[in-house]
C-alpha cells in the first residue's frame, strides 16, 4: 500500500482525511465526477473529516475538495494533506496514485535536439487566424503529426517531450510536431464543416509549404479535438495517413443524452450517425484510447467497432483513468508509438 499523507489507496478502497484545524467546517465533499462527489463524515473527537470509498477501475484519481463553512461559504481547494498535483485546463487538482500506478518511462529519457518556431495561419472561412507552434528535429524529415488542442497537449500531457524522447530513443522515425491551438473550440471542433474546410484547404497546405513536404499527415486529438480530426479525415481523406484519437466526443443519443445541452450536440450526433451507418470508409490506421471510467467509453467502443468494420485498421485501448490530460499522456506510449511505427515503417 502506498500512502501520501492524508490520501491513500489500500488496493480495494480509497481513503481521505482532512484535519479541521479550527476551521469549524460544516461539511466536506470530494469533487470527482466518477465517484459521485461523496461527502466526508466528521470525527469530532479527533477534529477531522474522513472518507473511505470502494476503489473503481482506475490506477489514479484526480480530485478536489469542496469545503462548506459554517457561515454558508463554499470553497473549492486542492487537498492540503496531499502534495501530489495534476495539471489541467481548469487549474490543478490533487491526485491519488494507487499502488499499481506507474508513470511512463519516457518521462525520464533524454530528448532529441530540435527547434521550435511559430507559424501564423490565417483562416478566412472562419474569419479568424491561429498561430501554430512547430517542433522540428535536427534530422531532416518529411513526416508530420498535427495535434488539435496542441498547446494544451504539450503543456498538460507533455506531447513535445514525448516526441523528443521517442526520437532520441529510436522508438519511431523523426517527424515535425505541429501544435494547433483550438480557437473557438466548442464551435470549430464540434464537427464544423467550416473548420474542416479550413484545416484541409488552408492549414495543411500552408504547413506543407512551410515544412517542404506534401506527405499526408497523422492527425491527433483528444475529446472534441479527436472528433474534429475524424470529421476532417472523413471529408478530405487524402490529407491523412493515420489518426490518433483519445476519448473522442463521439456523441450518440443512446449513450450521451446528458450532453444534449451542448450547443452543437445535434450536429455532432448527425455526423457520428453518418459514420456509424456507413458500410465502408476512407480507411487509414487508427489508434484510439479511452478511460475506463469515462462517460465517453461506450461511444468510443461503438466508434472503434464501426471504423474497424469499414476497413480502418483500428487498435483500441482502455486506460484505467478518467477524462484527464495525464490519462491521455500515460497512453502516448505504447499506443501513439505503435501508430507511428505502423504508418511510418
Report CA 181 to chain centroid distance, whole Å: 14
Domain boundary among 77, 97, 117: 97
pLDDT at 80 over 60: yes
Set of cell numbers at residue 193: 464543416
pLDDT at 105 over 80: yes
Q: Which pTM was predicted?
A: 0.96
The residue range of the domain holding 189 is 105-343
Tell me: do 69 and 191 sit in the same domain: no
Tell me: do 54 and 148 sit in the same domain: no
Tell me: do 246 and 209 sit in the same domain: yes
**Residue 3, Cβ neighbours under 10 Å: how many?**
12
Residue with cell 524522447: 165
CA distances from 308 to 263, 279, 284, 330, 341 (A): 30, 10, 10, 24, 19
* pLDDT-above-70 percentage for the chain: 98
Does the N-terminal peptide bond of residue 292 adopt cis geometry, omega within 30 degrees of 0?
A: no
pLDDT at 2 over 60: no
In this structure, are residues 24 and 18 in contact, taking their beta carbons and an 8 Å threshold?
A: no
In this structure, are residues 289 and 335 in contact, taking their beta carbons and an 8 Å threshold?
A: yes
Rounded distance between C-alpha atoms, residue 197 and residue 125, angstroms: 8
Tell me: do 206 and 324 sit in the same domain: yes
Domain boundary among 97, 125, 145: 97
Domain CATH number, residue 50: 2.60.40.10
Tell me: do 304 and 234 sit in the same domain: yes
Tell me: do 209 and 244 sit in the same domain: yes
Rounded distance between C-alpha atoms, residue 288 and residue 303, angstroms: 10
| Residue 24, φ and ψ in degrees, nearest 5 | 50, 55
Tell me: do 292 and 323 sit in the same domain: yes
Treating both helix axes as pointing N-terminal to C-terminal, what angle do 150-157 and 159-169 enclose, rounded to 10 degrees? 70
Helix (H, G, I), strand (E, B) or coil at 43: strand
In this structure, are residues 290 and 297 in contact, taking their beta carbons and an 8 Å threshold?
A: yes
Looking at residue 92, its pLDDT comes to 95
Domain CATH number, residue 288: 3.40.50.1820
Q: Following CA atoms 319, 323, 326, 332 in sequence, which dihedral angle do they give, to the nearest 10 degrees? A: 50
Domain boundary among 33, 63, 97: 97
Tell me: do 92 and 153 sit in the same domain: no
Domain count, the chain: 2
Looking at residue 4, its pLDDT comes to 53
Encode pLDDT of 185-211 as tens digits.
Answer: 999 999 999 999 999 999 999 999 999
| H or E element that contains 75 | strand 74-77
Average pLDDT, the chain: 95
**Residue 64, Cβ neighbours under 10 Å: how many?**
18
Looking at residue 295, its pLDDT comes to 96
| H or E element that contains 178 | strand 176-179
CA neighbor of 312 nearest in space, from 283, 276, 287: 283
Tell me: do 236 and 205 sit in the same domain: yes
Tell me: do 297 and 330 sit in the same domain: yes
Encode pLDDT of 135-174 as tens digits.
Answer: 999 999 999 999 999 999 999 999 999 999 999 999 999 9
pLDDT at 1 over 50: no
Encode pLDDT of 112-137 as tens digits.
Answer: 999 999 999 999 889 999 999 999 99
Residue 271: band (very low, low, confident or very high) from pLDDT cuts 50, 70, 90:
very high
Looking at residue 107, its pLDDT comes to 98
Q: Give 203's DSSP letter.
A: I
Tell me: do 44 and 190 sit in the same domain: no
Tell me: do 17 and 154 sit in the same domain: no
Q: List, in sequence order, every residue forming a beta bridge with 144; answer none if it has no partner.
A: 176
Amino acid at each position: 500500500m502506498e500512502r501520501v499523507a492524508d490520501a491513500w489507496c489500500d488496493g480495494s478502497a480509497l481513503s481521505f482525511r482532512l484535519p479541521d484545524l479550527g476551521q469549524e467546517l460544516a461539511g466536506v465533499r470530494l469533487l470527482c465526477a466518477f465517484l459521485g462527489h461523496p461527502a466526508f463524515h466528521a470525527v469530532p473527537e479527533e477534529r477531522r473529516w474522513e472518507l473511505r470509498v470502494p476503489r473503481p477501475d482506475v490506477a489514479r484519481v484526480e480530485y478536489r475538495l469542496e469545503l462548506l463553512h459554517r457561515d454558508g461559504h463554499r470553497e473549492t481547494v486542492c487537498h492540503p494533506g496531499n502534495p501530489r498535483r495534476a495539471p489541467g485546463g481548469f487549474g490543478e487538482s490533487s491526485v491519488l496514485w494507487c499502488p499499481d500506478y506507474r508513470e511512463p518511462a519516457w518521462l525520464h529519457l533524454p530528448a532529441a535536439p530540435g527547434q521550435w518556431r511559430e507559424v501564423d495561419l490565417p483562416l478566412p472561412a472562419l474569419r479568424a487566424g491561429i498561430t501554430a507552434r512547430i517542433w522540428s528535429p535536427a534530422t531532416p524529415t518529411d513526416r508530420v503529426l498535427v495535434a488539435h488542442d496542441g498547446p494544451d497537449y504539450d503543456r498538460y500531457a507533455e506531447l513535445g517531450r514525448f516526441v523528443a524522447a521517442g526520437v532520441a530513443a529510436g522508438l519511431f522515425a523523426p517527424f515535425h510536431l505541429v501544435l494547433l491551438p483550438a480557437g473557438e473550440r466548442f464551435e470549430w471542433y464540434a464537427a464544423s464543416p467550416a473548420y474542416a474546410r479550413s484545416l484541409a484547404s488552408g492549414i495543411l497546405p500552408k504547413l506543407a509549404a512551410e515544412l517542404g513536404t506534401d506527405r499526408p499527415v497523422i492527425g491527433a486529438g483528444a475529446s472534441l479535438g479527436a472528433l474534429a480530426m475524424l470529421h476532417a479525415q472523413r471529408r478530405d481523406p487524402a490529407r491523412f495517413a493515420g489518426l490518433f484519437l483519445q476519448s473522442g466526443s463521439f456523441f450518440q443519443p443512446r449513450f450521451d443524452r446528458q450532453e444534449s445541452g451542448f450547443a452543437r450536440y445535434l450536429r455532432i450526433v448527425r455526423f457520428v450517425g453518418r459514420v456509424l451507418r456507413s458500410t465502408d470508409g476512407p480507411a487509414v490506421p487508427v489508434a484510439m484510447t479511452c478511460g475506463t471510467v469515462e462517460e465517453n467509453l461506450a461511444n468510443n467502443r461503438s466508434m472503434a467497432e464501426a471504423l474497424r468494420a469499414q476497413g480502418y485498421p483500428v487498435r483500441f485501448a482502455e486506460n484505467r483513468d478518467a477524462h484527464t490530460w495525464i490519462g491521455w499522456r500515460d497512453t502516448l506510449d505504447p499506443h501513439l508509438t505503435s501508430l507511428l511505427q505502423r504508418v511510418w515503417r
